[in-house]
Amino acid sequence: MNDAQTKSHAALPAPGTTAAAEMKTAMAGFLDDFKGFQSDIKTRLTEQDTRIAMLDRKSSASRRAPLSHAAELDLTHKKAFAAYVRNGEEEALRGLEVEEKALSTTTLAEGGYLVDEQTAEAVQSVLCGASSLRAVANVVNVEATAYDVLVDFTDMGAGWNGETTVSETGTPSIERISIPLHELSALPKASQRLLDDAAFDIEGWLAARIADKFSRAESVAFISGDGVDKPRGCLNYPRVPNATWSWGNLGYVATGEAGDFAATDPADAIVDLVYALGAQYRNQATFVMNSKTAGAVRKMKDADGRFLWSDSLPAGDPARLMGYPVLIVEDMPDIATDTMAIAFGDFGAGYTVAERPDLRILRDPFSAKPHVLFFATKRVGGDVTDFAAIKLLKFGTS
C-alpha cells in the first residue's frame, strides 16, 4: 500500500462513527489538500519572479533596442508613389511632408568637416572691404538664379494746354534688365600636418587667400567681363560720344590728345567729364581709375595753381578729385591711345551686383592626401542698370 492509499484510507471514517464525525474528518482532509496546493502555487510563483528578474537584468546589461509591436507596412509615401506609377496621380505626392536629414557643423561625423562657416564669414568681410567696383555699386542679395531690374529710361511727355484743348502726351518706356548669377570658385589647399601643428592663424590665412582670388576675379569681371559665365563689366558696352549718347551705350568725353591729356589746360577734360553727368547723379558720383592714372591726375592744377586732387583728412576716407571721392580699381585700363581709363558716375544707380548670400566652403581631406582641399564657391552676377549714370573719359582725339 502506497502513501496516497494510506492517506485516503486514513481519511475514511471508522465504522460506526456519526455523520458529524464523518464531515469533520472530510473537512480536515480537504484543508490538508488545499494547503498543499497553495504551497505548490507559491513555489511556482516565486520561481517565475526569479526568472523574470534575471531576464530584466540581462536585457538591461546588453541595452537591447525595443522591438516594434507591429510592422508599419501601410506607409503613406508608398501609397502615394504606387498611385503615381500606376495612374499618374500627383496630388498624394505633393501633399507629402519632406523629411530633411540634418547636418551639424559642430559634429564631424554629421558634416562638420564639410562646412567651414568661420572661413566663409571672414571671406565675406574681406570682399566687402576690397577695392573693386562692388564698393560703390548697388549690391543686392537674391535667392534665385537671376535678378531682374525694371528701369524707366524715358521721360513722360507733358505740354501746355489751352482752356478747351488737351493734347495727348508720350508714355514712358520701361525696360527689364536681367542679371544672371554665375559661379565663382577657388580651390586652395593646406597640408594636414600644417593644420594640426600650425603656430599661426590658418583660418585667417586661408580666408585671405580665397578672398584675394575672389576679389581679383570679381574686379576684372565688373570692369571688363563679357557676360559669358561671368558678370558683364561696365566697359563691355558700346561707347559713343556723349553728345550722341543713347540708351544702351555709355557716353564718353575725349581728352583731345591720343594717349594723354591735352598739352594745354589738361584739367579741362576732368571738368568736362564731371559736367557730362546729369545733375541728378552728381551728388552720389565717384571717380574710378587705377593707380597709374591716379598718379597722373594727382599732379593736375587749376588755373589758379591749386591741385584738383585732395587727400582726405579722416582716416579711411577716400581721396577726392574736384570734391568727388576717388576709388582705385587696378583693373581699370592704363592711359593709352583711345582707352577709357577714367569712369565717373553714380555707380549705386548705374551698376548692380547681384549675389547669393551664402558663400560655401567645402573641406575635402580625401582627394589630395596628405593635403586638405578647401573648395569655395560663390554665385554672383553684375551688369549696368542705368546707362545715363556712368560717363567715361577717353584718351583720344575724338
For the question of whether the overall pTM of this predicted structure is more than 0.75, the answer is no
Note whether residue 2 is domain-resident. Answer: no
Q: Specify the residue for cell string 576675379.
A: 217
CA 252 – CA 393 distance, rounded (Å):
5
Per-residue buried b or exposed e for 204-230, using 16+ beta carbons within 10 Å of the residue's own CB? eebbebbbbbbbebbbbbbbbbebeeb
Note whether residue 12 is domain-resident. Answer: no
Taking residues 184-204, report their average pLDDT. 76
Note whether residue 200 is domain-resident. Answer: yes
- Model pLDDT, residue 223: 94
Is residue 109 scored above 50 in pLDDT?
A: no
Say whether 185 sits in a helix, a strand or coil: strand
- Model pLDDT, residue 346: 96
* Closest by CA position to 132, among listed 250, 236, 222, 212: 222
Taking residues 297-310, report their average pLDDT. 86
Q: What is the DSSP letter of 137?
A: S
- Model pLDDT, residue 128: 57
Provide the 10 A C-beta neighbour count for residue 373.
16
Q: Which residues contact 26 (CB under 8 A, 6 or more apart)?
A: 11
Taking residues 221-233, report their average pLDDT. 93
Note whether residue 385 is domain-resident. Answer: yes
Question: 353 lies in which domain range?
Answer: 115-153+173-394
The tally of domains found in the chain comes to 1
Note whether residue 202 is domain-resident. Answer: yes
The model's pLDDT over 242-260, given as tens digits with 9 standing for 90+, comes to: 999 999 999 999 999 999 9
Beta carbons of 232 and 382 less than 8 angstroms apart: yes
Helix (H) or strand (E) holding 276: helix 268-276
Note whether residue 10 is domain-resident. Answer: no
Q: What is the DSSP string of 309-366?
A: EE--SSTTPPPEETTEEEEE-TTSPPS-TT-EEEEEE-HHHHEEEEE-S--EEEEESS
What are the cell numbers at 83?
498611385
Note whether residue 139 is domain-resident. Answer: yes
Per-residue buried b or exposed e for 327-357, using 16+ beta carbons within 10 Å of the residue's own CB? bbbebbbebeeebbbbbbbbbbbbbbbbbbe
CA 276 – CA 341 distance, rounded (Å):
16
CATH number at residue 271: 3.30.2400.10
Note whether residue 82 is domain-resident. Answer: no
Alpha helices for 88-226 (secondary structure H): 91-94, 117-129, 192-197, 202-224
Provide the 10 A C-beta neighbour count for residue 310.
14
Quickly count helices (H) and strands (E) in the chain. 11, 16
